[in-house]
Structure 1
Amino acid sequence: MGRSDSGDDVGDRNEDDGRDLTLRWSGQISLTRRILAVNIFALLLLAGGFFYLDSYRSRIVDSRVAQAAREARLIGEAIAAVDPALREPLIVRLAQDTGSQIRVFDRDGQIIKDSRALGLRSFVLHDPDKEDWGQDAARFLDAVIDVVVMAPRAPLYRERGPRQRWPDVEDVRLRHGISTTVWRAPDRTPVITAAARVPGGGVVMTTVNARDITRTVRIERFRLSMVLLLVSIVSVLLSLFLARTIVRPLRRLARAAVRVRLGRAREVVVPRLPSRRDELGMLARALSDMSLALRARIDATEAFAADVTHEMKNPLASLRSAVEGLSRVQDPALQEQLMAIVRDDVHRLDRLISDISDASRLDAQLSRAKFEPIDMVSLIDGLLSQRLARDVEREIRFRFDRSDDGPFVVLGEGARLERVIENLIDNAVSFSPDRGLITLSAMRGAHEVVLRVEDEGPGVPPDARDAIFRRFHSVRPDGEAFGRHSGLGLAIARTIVEGHQGTITVESREDRLGGARFVIHLPLYAR
């Protein structure tokens, strides 16, 4: 309800609001790119699922390593349990069932049995140079993901000759227990070797190419890629749609605002976007209303400037004529008459300039004024006491009626509200007959204070009740000297009342045929 008592407070608030809305890192990026960037960032989080596949693959490999260790131990126990003559058929059958190559070594680490030498090729390495481009692409993606997630690089698997030692076999020979190793085949599929002791002496080693692990991971990655592709397309389309529905209206509003700034307010039609009920629609309608208010303010300023020019030309012309006449007239009586005209015109110009100055600065002063609770009954009592203390012209009488349902407190600036009442009293005095009665009254409504100023003059015709509040509109009573009023009193009164969120109107009196009644409605101050 109140107003800031200084422009510095408003400026500080505006600066704080500006700091709150500042985006330092993205202030130079368009909204379209920002919307796309946010959605792409969400897609990148979804793409992180590819990295999850690496941990998924690691768990599968660990499970297969544990399985290979168990199979090696069981195969070793099975070989030791059968007759030596039956070991070769057992080795072939076990290699066929497990899909691995089985080798048996003696106590010195020399190979004595091999499922491949026995005619079973259950372990086969694939040559990547003989595979199609799809496998090349898959291997490339495997390498990229391994680099990104910094997965440990397994050693390349190579067959060893009769004199070369296998690390797993040597480890079991020297430390007993079970030893396993994960290798990398030339086509990037895992190769798992597991070695275990054979009860009674020797070591058994199994070798399996776990292509199914790579195949499973690649299938899951393909499914995730399809989901990511579909989500990416939908996200980009939705981002473009969102950017279109936000950015395009903002650009239209920005272009309209630029044209208004360039001084083309009369040519600009700011889109109101009536079909939009969101914040952009509210912004569009607010900007449209602002441009209309600005256009009305510009028109009013131009009209005011034209009226000022017109009003000042008459006293200046009269003053010029009187001054020119003084240089030619020798008659003292005529000179005195011309000097009286000069004095009247000077006083008229001084009054006119003072009223113009007040009217032109009134809006700005009201916007910076500090409003305080004002008792309107006390204010009117004080004004009437001051007027009655002076000589009242033409024996005009005053009466002040007030109801008993007070207080009559409004929030406003006392000096401005006094100016309103004084202007209305001066207007009533001008139109009142000799010994006429001017009645002021104060009533209290549910949420407002109602003030009335009534006179016994000729009244205001219905078709002129709005025009009398316009600037420089002056209808003077018969017999009043020309130039005593600037025509700004009622216009100033309306500006002040509206600046206090009130209204002022004029109507006919209900109790008699003649006279005018000015009615002011001001919001009641709620404590």
Structure 2
Amino acid sequence: MADEGDSSVPRSALRWRLSHRILGVNAIILLVLALALLFLDSFRNQLRDEREAQTRHLAELAATAVPKIAAADVPRLFADMGQTTGARVRLYGADGALQQDSWRDAEPTYRLRDPTTQAWTKAFARTLDRAFNAVVGEKSPPDFAEPAVDRATAWPEAVGAFRTGRTQGAVRSAPDLTPVLSAATRTADQRIVLVTANDRNFTRTVRQERTKLAAGLLAAALFSLLLSLFLARTIARPLRRLALAAHRVRQGRAREVRVPRFTKRKDEIGLLARAVSDMSQALRQRIDNIEAFAADVTHELKNPLASLRSAVDGLDRIEDPALRRQLLDVVRQDVVRLDRLIGDIGEAARTDAELARAAFEPVDLGKLVGQICAGWEERRLTGDVRIAFARPRAASAIVMGEPARLARAIDNLIDNAISFSPAGSLVEVAVARVAEEVLIRIDDEGPGVPPQVREAIFNRFVSVRPDGDDFGRHSGLGLAIARAIVKGHDGEIDVADRDDAPSGARFTIRLPAVAGEVTA
């Protein structure tokens, strides 16, 4: 079978549980994406604020200069400012009429692009722009269009600047989704300076940063893919091995199926592997026990049946009444023996299953053993054998268990001691707590148990009796049932010679005591 190992690893010992790994892989790419979006949105807002501030500053410079220079120098000033900054500078009179435009005396500093004439890559970039705005919740600015009649009243920012005397700005969107920044301010002589600029560099810079972040996201996605492959290797592949091993166990075609234990793994996969391995070993052991038990039952049933058949066949041929009575006695003994054997076989077959389903409760072994001993006295089945019970201190011998099963194990040991005791002898039963255990000791004055068979007598259908003793009373299952019950309660049972008498056997049951009880 598989390697030995402890499958009962506490939760505190689990390092990098599977949930941590899965969440970690999913969180990495999501975290990188969130950080990228936050960074790009913050970068774009900061850059836009800077560009708006520059446009406002340019409008304020022009508004400060206009009243201080001659009217003939204004066109040249506006043309130079426009060519230097790439903006369009206009001057409106107090009545709102256009007085000066930087594009009259110089080439236009920007042109609004028609998106239908641009390459598909620009259309794709604009789609990404819209998607990004939707993700971060950015509202689309209004569309930019030159007014049909260019007057100050056609520009809301110019109207606001004239009324308040403070610089007013606005951001609009060109047909190709590049921003058009505008700023208007009032001059000292109550005129309005308006600056507009199609800041294509703003869009180009933002898209460049977005490309860099996309490359980072691609790297993060590749890293996430590698982590996913790692998870597939550390999760999916081991689970597949476990599934195949479990399938082979279910088919039962091979007697020994190697189930991987993954002893170095301290996560849920390791726990599952060791649990499945232990389960398969327990299943195989139980199957072996069932096969051995079936073979033993078949063998044990044949002996009394053969004796019964021989006696029944002899009844037809024998006329002597005395011999017929002897044969009838043999028949009765064999029937009693079969009845006891069948009952013990059923008890042995149910013991493991009943213990697995039993709900343990606190059991006072002092009271329980006292009731069993009193029951033997009341039934008067001990013959000339007396029973003496050394009662423990009250509430000092408490164990967790199933009372009926414990009573069955103790009753089997007392029955065994009585059956091996000579007439007039004494069977001593004692219960005591020693340290963290409760001990049940059963002493008889019989011939004892030879050392070489002390372990074998706890096997099924094994009974070692002196020559001449009546075998019919026992099936050889009583001690086996007792040991199974004690083992099911995490206890131990053994036999040794008595150290306080010339002869006799001493059976001792050790069970874990309930914590906190008084030591006897």
Taking a change above 3 Å as real, the CA distance of residues 204 and 366 of structure 1, as seen in their structure-2 partners, is closer
Q: CA deviation at 1:513?
A: 5.8
Conservation of the 8 A alpha-carbon contact between 1:36 and 1:236: no
Which is further off, 143-152 or 253-262? 143-152
Residue equivalent to 1:221: 210
Matches within 5 A, 1:101-250: 101-105=88-92, 111-119=98-106, 121-124=108-111, 137-146=124-133, 151-154=138-141, 157=144, 168=154, 172=158, 176-177=162-163, 180-197=169-186, 200=189, 203-250=192-239
Residue equivalent to 2:9: none
- Identity among equivalent positions (%) equals 49
Conservation of the 8 A alpha-carbon contact between 2:366 and 2:392: no
Q: CA deviation at 1:140?
A: 3.9
Conservation of the 8 A alpha-carbon contact between 1:456 and 1:514: yes
Residue equivalent to 2:63: 76
Which runs of no fewer than 5 residues in structure 2 stay unpaired? 1-16
Residue equivalent to 2:458: 469
TM-score of the pair, normalised by structure 2: 0.81
Which is further off, 419-428 or 469-478? 419-428
Residue equivalent to 1:499: 488
Mapped pair 1:43 → 2:29: yes
Which is further off, 352-361 or 415-424? 415-424
Q: CA-to-partner distance for each residue in 1:431-465, whole Å, 9 max, x for gaps?
A: 33344443333343111122222233332222211
SS at match of 1:495: helix
Residue equivalent to 1:520: 509
Conservation of the 8 A alpha-carbon contact between 1:32 and 1:240: no
Taking a change above 3 Å as real, the CA distance of residues 144 and 340 of structure 1, as seen in their structure-2 partners, is same
Conservation of the 8 A alpha-carbon contact between 1:107 and 1:173: no
CA distance in 1, matches of 2:276, 2:82: 82
CA distance in 1, matches of 2:160, 2:335: 125
Residue equivalent to 1:86: 73
Conservation of the 8 A alpha-carbon contact between 1:437 and 1:455: yes
Which is further off, 399-408 or 100-109? 399-408
Residue equivalent to 1:363: 352
Taking a change above 3 Å as real, the CA distance of residues 489 and 148 of structure 1, as seen in their structure-2 partners, is closer
Conservation of the 8 A alpha-carbon contact between 2:32 and 2:220: no
CA distance in 1, matches of 2:30, 2:250: 42
Residue equivalent to 1:347: 336
CA distance in 2, matches of 1:172, 1:423: 109
Mapped pair 1:408 → 2:397: yes
Matches within 5 A, 1:306-325: 306-325=295-314
Q: CA-to-partner distance for each residue in 1:152-181, whole Å, 9 max, x for gaps?
A: 4445555678x6657645874799346654
Residue equivalent to 1:17: none
Q: CA-to-partner distance for each residue in 1:253-294, whole Å, 9 max, x for gaps?
A: 233233333445733222111222333223322221222112
Conservation of the 8 A alpha-carbon contact between 1:458 and 1:514: yes
TM-score of the pair, normalised by structure 1: 0.80
Residue equivalent to 2:12: none
Which runs of no fewer than 5 residues in structure 1 stay unpaired? 1-30
Q: CA deviation at 1:468?
A: 0.3
CA RMSD across the alignment: 3.8
CA distance in 2, matches of 1:290, 1:44: 40
User: What number of residue pairs does the alignment pair up?
Assistant: 496
Conservation of the 8 A alpha-carbon contact between 2:157 and 2:169: no
Which residue identity does 1:95 align to in structure 2?
A: G
Q: CA-to-partner distance for each residue in 1:187-240, whole Å, 9 max, x for gaps?
A: 432122334455557544322222232233223323322332222222332233
Which is further off, 81-90 or 284-293? 81-90
Conservation of the 8 A alpha-carbon contact between 1:315 and 1:349: yes
Residue equivalent to 1:26: none
CA distance in 2, matches of 1:496, 1:247: 41
Taking a change above 3 Å as real, the CA distance of residues 414 and 129 of structure 1, as seen in their structure-2 partners, is closer
Which residue identity does 1:449 align to in structure 2?
A: V
CA distance in 2, matches of 1:240, 1:359: 52
Taking a change above 3 Å as real, the CA distance of residues 377 and 169 of structure 1, as seen in their structure-2 partners, is closer
Which residue identity does 1:337 align to in structure 2?
A: Q
Taking a change above 3 Å as real, the CA distance of residues 193 and 451 of structure 1, as seen in their structure-2 partners, is closer
CA distance in 2, matches of 1:167, 1:48: 43
Conservation of the 8 A alpha-carbon contact between 2:92 and 2:152: no
Matches within 5 A, 1:331-342: 331-342=320-331
Pick aligned residue for 2:407 from 398, 418, 430: 418
